[in-house]
Amino acid sequence: MIRTLPRRSAPTDPPPRPGPLRVVLRRWLPLSWRRGRVVAALAVAVALGMLLLPHLPNRFGNLGSLAQTLLPWTGVAVPVLLLFALARRSAAAVTAVTLPALVWLSLHGHALLDKQRGGGDLTLVSHNVDSANPDPAGTARRLAEAGADVIALEELSPPATPHYERALAAAYPHHAVMGTVGVWSKVPISDTRAVPIMPWPRALRTTLHTPKGPVAVYVAHLASVRVHPSRGFTTERRNEAADRLAHALRTEPLARTVLVGDLNGSVDDRALTSVTSGLRSAQDAAGDGFGFSWPAAFPAVRIDHILSRHLPATRSWTLPATGSDHLPVAASFAL
Number of C-beta neighbours around residue 274 at 10 A: 17
Cα(284)–Cα(74) distance, integer angstroms:
19
Cα(181)–Cα(205) distance, integer angstroms:
10
pLDDT of the residue at 104? 97
pLDDT of the residue at 10? 55
Is the peptide bond prior to 295 cis by the omega test (within 30 degrees of 0)?
yes
Q: Provide the residue ranges of all domains of the chain, joining segments of one domain with +.
A: 20-112, 122-333
pLDDT of the residue at 15? 65
Question: 329-333 and 313-318: which strand pairing?
Answer: antiparallel
10-residue stretch averages of pLDDT, the chain, 335 residues long = 57 64 58 85 96 88 89 96 92 94 95 90 98 96 96 97 97 97 98 96 98 97 85 88 97 98 95 95 96 96 97 97 98 97
Topology annotation, domain 122-333? Deoxyribonuclease I; Chain A (3.60.10)
Are the beta carbons of 245 and 195 closer than 8 angstroms?
yes
Phi and psi for 82 in degrees, rounded to 5?
Answer: -65, -40
